[in-house]
Amino acid sequence: MKQKLRSLSRLGIFLMATTACSFLWGADKASAPEKIVATPTISPDTSRPFNKPQSVTLSTTTSDSTLCYSTDDKDPACNAEKSGCASGTLYAAPFTLDDNSTLKVLACKKAMQDSLLVSAPFVFDTTAPKDVAEFKIQTSQNKVALQWINPTDADFAGVKILRKTESSPADASDGTLVFEGEAAHAADTLPDEKVYYYKVFAFDKASNYSPGAEAHAQKNVGSLSLTAGLSGGLAYGQSKLAGQDLKLFSLHLGAAYGGLFSNGILKPVEVTALVDLQRFAAKDVPAWGAVMQVGVAYPVWKYEQHLVKALVTGGYAFGQVDGMSTFGVGIFEVGARYAFLWSESLSFVAGLRQQFYLDPVGVFFATQGIAGAAYRL
């Protein structure tokens, strides 16, 4: 009897333990939380307004999810099976929005808890801001200072300045970028002697651009150029310097003052006033002379630091022969000059020039080579 009681007691303890374990396992299973579908993402970014229709893409990192969306301010909802939408539109492929609206998106999946509801405002703006006012350009040699007054539009975001040669930029993508930002001033450096046309476009947060305000700039008229060098030449003819045929050699030291001009079609033309101090040697008759010339230099070729100009000048030469007699003759000159632009101000010059001296007694000419340096202040 005692043996039976012990067996029943053990059985009862076993049943109680088994029941307790089953109860605890079932309670744990019932209290396990459902997984939540990952929050949907919306593309494109809506932090800025748009100026054209947008293709919208929806996604979630939870695979095989159902995406429901709405644009009518009502919340989307999934159906009971989580395979479609009870309200809103089922997302199947990218769609287009072109009007102001708030996009709401919900993601769901069977046996999982619905995602958080997300929303994004789509704002469209196609109105450009006003142009800047009082767009001004000041030049100092090859330096350009630009100033303007920004428009007061509430959605003004900044300005974009472009430059071109030959014509003004047609739009905000036509030309070389000079400046982009919210400031009301900028600076630029002119790379050569061409006329440059500048245009400033105001833009808003939706990237709408104003028609643009324009101005043009060129290296200063009247920039000073000092040159110094030596030249040697040979002349044939008759002149009252000696009253006979002569061979003439000369050395010169010169200085030039020049300004840059352009008619908007041709390349810039340099107008120079030149003074040469020359030492003549004709047989045994020494002479000193000064040549004053005015003319133009036209750039015919430029590559990086290399520049070639054609020159045409005319003027008057006067001086003394043997320290006593004076002379005066007209002079006409054509030539070509090569310059290596060592720096912004300094260049090394070499050239060839043909001079014609218009002596009342006769005409003589000299072909001369020139080499030296030029410094522009």
Helix (H, G, I), strand (E, B) or coil at 133: strand
Domain membership flag for residue 151:
yes
Query: Do residues 330 and 264 share a domain?
Result: yes
Number of domains into which the chain is organized = 3
339 touches 349 (CB < 8 A)? yes
- For 73, which DSSP code? S
Domain membership flag for residue 351:
yes
Helices (H), 38-80: none
Query: Do residues 118 and 158 share a domain?
Result: no
Query: Do residues 253 and 297 share a domain?
Result: yes
Least confident segment among 139-143, 208-212, 289-293: 289-293
Domain membership flag for residue 76:
yes
Residue 260's DSSP bridge partners are: 270
Query: Do residues 268 and 341 share a domain?
Result: yes
pLDDT on residue 328? 67
Domain membership flag for residue 319:
yes
Range of the domain at 261: 224-376
Domain membership flag for residue 21:
no
Query: Do residues 232 and 329 share a domain?
Result: yes
Query: Do residues 275 and 324 share a domain?
Result: yes
83 confidence band (pLDDT: 50, 70, 90): very high
Domain membership flag for residue 8:
no
26 confidence band (pLDDT: 50, 70, 90): very low
Residue 8 predicted with pLDDT over 50: no
Query: Do residues 231 and 211 share a domain?
Result: no
Rounded CA gap, 116 and 293, in Å? 86
Query: Do residues 157 and 192 share a domain?
Result: yes
C-alpha distance across the termini of the chain, in Å: 129
Residue 87 predicted with pLDDT over 80: yes
What is each CA distance from 327 to 67, 220, 368, in whole angstroms?
A: 102, 38, 21
Residue 320 predicted with pLDDT over 60: yes
**pTM for this predicted structure:** 0.51
Question: How is residue 147 written in tokens?
Answer: 């100033």
Query: Do residues 205 and 229 share a domain?
Result: no
